[in-house]
Chains A and B, each alone.
Chain A
């Protein structure tokens, strides 16, 4: 049986890849996908700990994370479409109207 720490290490690597993606990519849709990657890395941690502790609670939390991710993706993509109407770009550096 694969030890829990291996799953946690894999999840750490996936989370770091997602974090780097948020930093290096300027296409805001790809930044969104990198955020989804980070959320999924955390889900893997929850499920691994649920098996380690022999409880089901971690899997229920994953259910909630998925719900929040779905809501976040819907609202975020609506914001991207609304911003795209004002300025036809998906470059995060140019969508700086909220920055002061």
Chain B
């Protein structure tokens, strides 16, 4: 990827991420987050992580964002009152933006000073389904199994939390 492509992609990413944070309408925030996740999938493709890019689109932009939109529409939010209520916190918000800007600038300046050597050409099949699956099921077999327990706990917890108590 050339630097022009990178900067175009990075600009689009930052703009869509800022839209997630500043847009008063939660549905449009969610749409901007979908755009951010898709653009990150493009970055993953450029970084040679093809399998992860596919998972990003299917799991994140697909499943998780559908869950978010479903809850937003289930709760039927009108966001005007919430946005009106936060007006009294102008000083805090300005401080948060300044703090975030300082954090981003310091981290970026730190990273840009590190002289990383140019990465070697990846081996054939790097980032494809086979290489990721081999690492996942051989080297990371135990964490993978623990992940299934985590998901089971999440499923049970979600059902217990969201069910209507018979009272």
Interface residue ranges, A against B (CB under 8 Å): 1-10, 12-21, 23-27, 29-30, 32-34, 36-37, 40, 43-44, 47-48, 50-54, 56-57, 59-60, 62-64, 66-75, 77-82, 84-85, 89-91, 93
Contacts and interface: CB of A to CB of B under 8 A. Distances in A.
Contact of A4 (B37, B86, B116, B140): B116
A56 B85 contact: no
B162 A82 contact: yes
Contacts of A9: 107-108, 111-112
Given A23-B92, A33-B30, A72-B154, 12 more contacts: A8-B114, A12-B103, A20-B96, A23-B93, A29-B68, A40-B36, A47-B49, A54-B122, A60-B140, A67-B147, A74-B155, A75-B154
B82 A91 contact: yes
B20 A33 contact: yes
Nearest to B106: A12
A47 B85 CA distance: 40
A63 B150 CA distance: 14
**Which DSSP category, helix, strand, loop or mixed, fits chain A's interface?**
helix
Nearest to B71: A77
A66 B41 CA distance: 13
A6 B7 CA distance: 10
Nearest to A79: B161
A3 B47 CA distance: 11
Contact of A10 (B10, B18, B118, B120): B10
A66 B135 contact: no
Given A2-B6, A27-B26, A71-B151, A59 B51 contact: yes
